[in-house]
Structure 1
């Protein structure tokens, strides 16, 4: 070794370091952590599986959809919140929609040219209407039109007295949700027309939301297995009616599967949808 060139010794030392660190960090450490996890937290380390009838029905940590082959909600089950992970609750594509509260303008589809794009606001409006129809309540909410899109105007010019106003999310020949804005007749949106130069004006309206927020928005991971107690309470009458059960019995099951805040003050109470639906099936 003493007679080896310095560059050879340096390379050999580097190779030894790579081998040692690979064994320690690539084998010994993962095996040790896995062993401790399996010994102390076996169920959680194994993915927190939930079993039913001798088979794994899912994970307590990952939500899933309770829909039929046509994608429509199955009436006898509590429904999960929306998911932006892949096609819905895909653990390999965990993500949010990356759309924020200022995403209120749709791209109207142009036949043969563009498919269009729904804004976050319009998605919320559409989901609220769908949930309202399913539960037999009003799906109306602030900043939404009666036909389920974002209630947003583009006003021209951007500064000064309005000379033109367009309900940009309502494609012609739709009737605009308001007829006039500050003395100007409101037009319907024309697909393909550029409204970028106008001032964006969301219109709140006087609707009061009955459908809870978690029924119309996806979680940050897209995998949240819980819904709020408010959303569960909204669904309970429909589930009880479909299953022919007393409402009080379904409500008691909801309370039994409601978890409180972590450490008493972190987060919000939640209802695990999978565990609740399995409890309904197994009663």
Structure 2
């Protein structure tokens, strides 16, 4: 009988039997980080939108390019890569901790990769349709530069998610359940990476689209939408948090029969 699948979380090996209190604390900590990341992105985006919609249009000087785009964009890339590293470990643990013994690891894992790959492909198609719809007629303005920069970054994460899902499916196709369990144990982040790539792509896309409204319709509508999209994202995050904190309860045959009778 193969050993229980163990996945790494923040550099340590933890099994699906991790204490409920420790998992609860870890989950709350991760979702606080997600809330902070969404809030920081919204504030960051609003600053770019207001500044970009109010400054005089025209080609940015070298100093302005470094001050308003290059340095902040470098910080955005660094924070995104770090969040991907942290969240992929969490998602991997979160997905397997409530796995039922009657469900095969092979089927569940490959279905997860397939779903993530398909949605990433759909997301990439959506991103490409808005890639060249710049918020201003002058493509050298601050809003246009940030819009294209974020859209390209989002499409990059979608492509990575598609390729990762395809690679995992190809290389695990010849493996049986026991070998796949060993593969997951040796590559724990493989479960969560395509899903995290999708989340990053979505966050960057909606924040970029809000910049488009700043350029086309001015600050007022831009600010309104800059408040609404984080609320929509946090609604999804809150549901994810509830699902993450859910734990299955032991059921007996009598409980199942009673449920069937009542229905």
**Structure with the higher fraction of residues in strand conformation:** 1
- TM-score of the two chains, using structure 1 as the length reference: 0.25
- TM-score of the two chains, using structure 2 as the length reference: 0.26
**Structure with the higher fraction of residues in helix conformation:** 2
